[in-house]
Structure 1
Amino acid sequence: MPLAKIVWVDDEIESLQSQRMFLENKGYDVTTFTNGFDAIEFLKDNIADVVLLDESMPGITGLETLARIKEANQQIPVVMITKNETESLMDDAIGSQITDYLLKPVNPNQVLLSLKKIIDNRRLVAEKTTTAYQQQFRDLFMALNNNPDYNEWMEIYKKLVYWELEMEKSDSPEMREILASQKDEANTEFFKFISKNYAKWMHPKSDDAPIMSHNLFRYKVMPHVNKEAPTFFILIDNLRLDQWKTIQPIFAESFRILEEETFYSILPTATQYSRNAIFSGLLPIDIEKQFPLEWKNDEEEGGKNLFEEAFFRAQLKRMKRDDLKTSYTKVLHHHDGANLVNNIHNLLNNDLNIIVYNFVDMLSHARTEMEVLKELAGDEVSYRSITRSWFEHSALHQALKKIADRNIRLIIATDHGSVRVKTPYKVIGDKQTTANLRYKHGRNLNYEPKDVLAFKDPREAGLPVPNVNSSFIFAKEDGFLCYPNNYNHYVNYYRNTFQHGGISLEEMIVPVIKMVQLNPMGQPVFPGCLYDGPTLIVR
């Protein structure tokens, strides 16, 4: 079986017989033609992996041959071989989608290298990825077992996400399985870390805590807001770090990414807690105290995120920044997105614009309910793919493209992530116990202590006490909490769905990204900054 089938078209092919023999000795099947017409006819009825095509031939030129080959088979790789390296020729060839080009006279190793680059690219990339991960496996193993602090945990998770994305290039199921196992081990250790430290972080006088939901605005947004240029803070609900990495290249087409950081979502990693904490600048226990009419606990009737704008304006007032001209836009439905696209230019008159975009969270919940989405987003790879496809065609992307040439600051963040749940844990509670799969609160909860992090006094976790003797429990790793009633049905229904509310790297360590618009020279436009090469100096 040959390594690949090559078609070589050159009117002087007789002088290239030694090169043909060289390739055949390397395992390639080489068919030669002296003109484009014969090659085109051959390719109509025969398969080739690569076409080597001379640019200057009598009768029909290489570029004309290239165009006809592409008409018949758009996907076939073509390597142009030419004596002429003029810019116009290269523009024509590249515009016609050549895969590579070589300058005459070519030597056999040049041709071989080009073929390997084209044919063996995926295999070589996969092998290199596997080898590189094998080399880093021990480093990650050592980091996990070296009592990492909250900053080191963020770095560990970033590396795991990096390798998860890189492993998509690998065709080694064994290596992907090893990475998945290492990620599971990381989540096991992360649960222990959170169990040990979370209550300390919630203490009002703690000076050794990460940036979390309730102080995200204070430390990561407001220092960049002034009246020199509008700032857009866009919160994409339920966006994991790996999903951000998937849509990052689309943002990079129009914006320069200045800082790509992470922060910690508070518990529960659920919208009504983490997102209200972001906009209020308060822990849930303090939101309830300061806004007793607006705060709703899980079991209470009414919307749980209806007062984000009021919470945010109160936070601005506490910061003495209520002189800023601001707007708040929430996109829940298609018509909201259309309104955003139509109104985006008007927002340029404000100092700070808040945009909350709810698609990813809806996708997560819809995937649980709809069989077709369970097929389309059956695992993390397809979940990322759907996220990218959504963003490319979203109203949010359209709106940002409309203002990409304007002098703006852009901050992207989320409220929490999600995790694909696999392991069911039994929980027994009374009728007032909440229905969430990754956390529950109620009275008289019965559970296995090893399966959850429990706060018998919710105040230790910065949470309100909904009822006398209420406690909170949070599922660990990839667990989900099920009642004994109709247990097997619910286990089968929810297993392998994406859920949030509990403790995992995917839910708790989430992205916050700062970007600015690029000028025509490809440099960032950012008032108050001096750009000098790769270093950005904030004045």
Structure 2
Amino acid sequence: MIYKGHIIWVDDEVHHLKPHIMFLESKGYKVSSVTNGIDADSLNKKNRYDLVLLDQNMPGLDGIETLKKIKSHRESIPVVMITKSEDEWLMDEAISQQIQQFLIKPVSPNQVYIACKQILEKNRIIQDKTSADYLQDFQKINQDIDFISSPDAWWNLYLKLVKWQIKFEEHADLSLQNILADQIKTCNQLFTRYIEENYEHLINDKTQSLFSPAIFEKYAKPILEKKNKVCIIIIDCMRCDQFLSIYSHLESLFNMDISYHLSLLPSATPYSRNAIFSGLYPDELIKRYPKQRDLFSNSSQGLNKYENELLIDQLSRLKMEDKKVHYHKIWALEEGKRFSKKINNFLDKDVLALVVNFVDMLAHDSSKMEVLKEIIPDDIGYRHTVKSWVKNSWFNDVLKQLSESNFEVIITSDHGSVKVNREVMVSADKDASSGVRYKYGRNLNTRSKNVIKIDEPQKYRLPAFGPQFNYLIAKNDSYFLYPNDAHKYKNKLLDSFQHGGVSMEEMLVPVIKMKGFK
């Protein structure tokens, strides 16, 4: 019989509980028993029990006093209180001491067994079930993957894979996590092939609303047409798995619905975020705003400096120029704190647009600071860091205030990021852009097959700045290096999180529609 844990049962009438104890032992538990709290406290200091079953009414120390002594020695030990008392004050006191369950006598052996099983075997049962379910899903995904032929189908597949990632953080062994990682890698290769073969058609199909330029018209416009207020929050560089890691937290504040959009190529802020605010593709943007051409052609750092103007112009084209707008970009902790304190000043607006740069800064700085590489060495570390920030920063205060307001909230990103580990050598002139996962300039070249080379930018709705102008877009987990300084930058960029290329993580971006319970 498999050993399932050691239980200590503390009850002054434990001799009446022999059938219960024998039943637990028949199920694989070792059960020790004592008749008073003093002995229970003494034994707890000498032995490592997995669970305490505790009565309230005992001579000497009562159950609550015993519970406090046991917890003072080992706070994490789980406790089930089993007592005749139905007093609510006792229930409240026991719950405040973080007991796992409260059972009222008389109890059957099976009731006690179920309580013990739920506490001591829960993780194993969930892990076994999770593993079995994933292995079944693994087979189905492998059968279906070759027949995926639409962005919607790719989104549904990716969402399923990300949900498994979240589940596996707590309830899977390392071997299954490795299997899932390999499956995601395979899916990414096929997704990249799909994008390479279909992107030109998709982006030129005027009947679709999949890409970044359609977000405001598709999601915000219907809210404004109903005379409601809308807040659109763009968390720069936030990935689907990071959104899902905070989903349950957001659910505590809002009713929610999740959808998606496709980031433009390159999957980078100057293209995708400008497209969200302007409602225009990059080739349209530079025609309408010649100053953007100058910024692009000079590889300027201020490529997103006109987002407020772009949003107001888009509203005008949508015949909503009467809407009151406030745009706010938050790039630092103190600025976020200031905004959260004065958000009430903007609740009279029809459109509140927020850009939050924390996740993007985290990705960029992880390639520069060794301490950040240790904090976010992988996808799990990255998710945990983002989740902790959302729940404990000024941003959570903003979410709470929005949930209590009249605003409907749309939260999304311009693109995601991917961890890179395969270098690709490229040749370029001195005026080429400096991107790690995408480059543009004159006569860019590479021999690698891990690159999409765009020699006719207009077919991809991208601007061209002169003859022989082209783009290189990294595929899968590759990144660009120049041969003359490859060694210097390889050590810096290897295993860092980057964006601009083709991958599910970068291009399949959640759009979450939220409304408070008010």
Q: Tell me the TM-score normalized by structure 1.
A: 0.92
Aligned pair partner of 2:276 in 275, 278, 285: 278
> What amino acid does structure 2 have at the position aligned with 1:269?
S
Check if 1:428 corresponds to 2:433: no
For 2:291 and 2:86, how far apart are their aligned partners in 1? 73
Q: Is the 8 A contact 1:129 1:169 kept in 2?
A: no
Aligned-residue offset at 1:37:
2.0
Partner residue in 2 for 1:321: 320
Give per-residue Cα distances to partners, 1:149-201, cap 9 Å, x unaligned. Answer: 11111111111111111111234222111111111111111111111111112
**Correspondence 1:401-480 to 2 at 5 A:** 401-448=400-447, 450-480=449-479
Counterparts of 1:342 and 1:357, CA distance in 2: 16
Q: Who is 2:345 aligned against?
A: 346
Moved more, 132-141 or 478-487: 478-487
Counting only pairs closer than 5 Å after superposition, residues 74-153 of structure 1 correspond to structure 2 as 74-153=75-154
Note the 1:35-434 alignment, pairs <5 A: 35-203=36-204, 206-207=206-207, 209-226=208-225, 228-257=227-256, 259-295=257-293, 296-297=295-296, 299-434=298-433
Asked if 2 retains the 8 angstrom alpha-carbon contact of 1:143 and 1:156, the reply is no
Q: C-alpha separation between the residues in 1 aligned to 2:228 and 2:317? A: 23
Counterpart CA distance in 2 for 1:299 and 1:44 is 70
Q: What is the match of residue 35 of structure 2?
A: 34
1:255 and 1:515 in contact (8 A); partners too = yes
d(CA) in 2 for partners of 1:173 and 1:333?
Answer: 37
1:351/1:63 CA distance change after superposition, 3 Å? same
Kindly provide the amino acid, as one letter, of the partner of residue 328 in structure 2: T
Alpha-carbon displacement from aligned partner over 1:362-387 (angstroms, at most 9, x marks no partner)? 01011111101100000111100000
- Find the aligned partners of 1:267 and 1:183 in 2 and give their Cα distance: 21
Q: Per-residue deviation at 1:444?
A: 2.1
Q: Distance in 1 between matches of 2:275 and 2:516?
A: 29
Give CA-to-partner distance per residue, 1:420-442, whole Å, 9 cap, x none: 11222221222122221111112
Comparing 270-279 with 426-435, greater Cα deviation is found at 426-435
Match of 1:527 in 2: none
Give, as a single letter, the amino acid of the residue that structure 2 aligns with 1:114.
A
Report the alpha carbon displacement of residue 483 of structure 1 after superposing the two structures with TM.
Answer: 1.6
CA contact (8 A) 2:337 2:394 kept: yes
Change (3 A) 1:226 1:381: same
Asked if 2 retains the 8 angstrom alpha-carbon contact of 1:425 and 1:480, the reply is yes
Q: Residue 51 of structure 1 contacts residue 77 of structure 1 at CA under 8 Å; is this kept in 2? A: yes
CA distance in 1, matches of 2:393, 2:363: 17
Q: Distance in 2 between matches of 1:412 and 1:86?
A: 46
Equivalent residues of 1:345, 1:403 under 8 A apart: no
* SS of alignment partner, residue 55 of structure 1: coil
State the distance in 1 between where 2:301 and 2:356 align.
Answer: 21
In 2, the alpha carbon distance for the partners of 1:281 and 1:301 equals: 21
Aligned match of 1:532: none
How far apart, in 2, do the equivalents of 1:312 and 1:465 lie? 24
CA drift of 1:254 comes to 1.7
The CA deviation at 1:108 is 2.9
Instruction: Tell me, in whole angstroms, the C-alpha distance in 2 between the residues paired with 1:389 and 1:381.
Output: 12
Q: Is the 8 A contact 2:408 2:513 kept in 1?
A: yes
How high is the sequence identity, in percent, across the aligned residues?
39
Rounded Cα–Cα distance in structure 1 between residues aligned with 2:301 and 2:195? 31
Distance 2:447 2:320 in 1: 47
How many Å separate the matches in 1 of 2:301 and 2:38?
73
Contact 2:155 2:260 in 1 (8 A): yes
SS of 2:7's equivalent?
Answer: strand
How far apart are residue 11 of structure 1 and its match?
A: 0.4
1:2 CA drift (Å): 4.8
1:147 and 1:335 map into 2 onto residues whose CA distance is 46
Give the letter aligned to residue 342 of structure 1. K
Answer yes or no: is the 8 Å Cα contact 1:241–1:511 preserved in 2: yes
Q: Which runs of 4+ in 1 moved over 6 A?
A: none
Question: How far off is 1:352 after superposition?
Answer: 1.0
Deviation at 1:239, TM superposition (A): 0.8
For 1:408 and 1:160, how far apart are their aligned partners in 2?
32
The whole-number CA distance in structure 1 between the counterparts of 2:470 and 2:424 is 17
Greater mean deviation of Cα atoms: 78-87 or 189-198: 78-87
| CA distance in structure 2 between the aligned counterparts of 1:466 and 1:447, rounded to whole angstroms | 20
Q: 1:291 Cα deviation (Å)?
A: 0.5
Give the deviation of 1:449 after TM superposition. 5.3
In the aligned structure 2, how far is the partner of 1:304 from the partner of 1:170? 43
The answer to whether the 8 Å contact 1:233/1:353 transfers is yes
Structure 1 distance, partners of 2:299, 2:242, is: 32
- Matched residue SS, 1:52: strand
- SS of 1:110's equivalent in the other structure is helix
Per mean C-alpha deviation after superposition, the further-off stretch among 30-39 and 42-51 is: 42-51
Q: TM-score, normalised by structure 2?
A: 0.95
Distance 1:406 1:56 in 2: 49
* Partner SS state of residue 513, structure 2: strand
Contact 2:425-2:448 within 8 A present in 1 as well: no
Aligned counterpart, 2:492: 493
- Point out where structure 1 has 5 or more consecutive residues left out of the alignment: 520-539
Tell me how far 1:401 sits from its aligned partner: 1.9
Give unpaired runs (5+ residues) of structure 2.
Answer: none
Q: Per-residue displacement from partner, 1:261-316 (whole Å, max 9, x unpaired)? A: 11101011111111001101001111111111144216434511100011111111
Partner Cα distance (2:457, 2:292) in 1? 19
Q: By percentage of residues, which structure has more helix?
A: 2
- The CA deviation string for residues 186-228 of structure 1, in whole angstroms up to 9 with x for no partner, is 111111111111111232x532x45210111111121112574
Displacement of 1:477:
1.0
Amino acid at match of 1:58: P
Deviation string for 1:43-85 (max 9, x for gaps)?
2343211101012223332223223322332211001112234
Q: Is the 8 A contact 1:151 1:210 kept in 2?
A: no
Partner Cα distance (2:411, 2:186) in 1: 29
1:406 aligns to what SS in structure 2? coil
Shift of 1:231: 1.6
**1:349 match: secondary structure:** coil
Q: Equivalent residue of 1:510, what SS?
A: strand
**Cα pair distance change 1:480/1:518, threshold 3 Å:** same
* Greater CA drift, 318-327 or 145-154: 145-154
Deviation at 1:403, TM superposition (A): 4.2
Q: Distance in 1 between matches of 2:297 and 2:158?
A: 30
Q: 2: distance between equivalents of 1:152 and 1:404?
A: 32
- 1:86 Cα deviation after fit: 4.7
Relative to structure 2, which stretch is displaced further, 76-85 or 212-221? 76-85
Shift of 1:347: 1.2
CA distance in 2, matches of 1:489, 1:50: 55
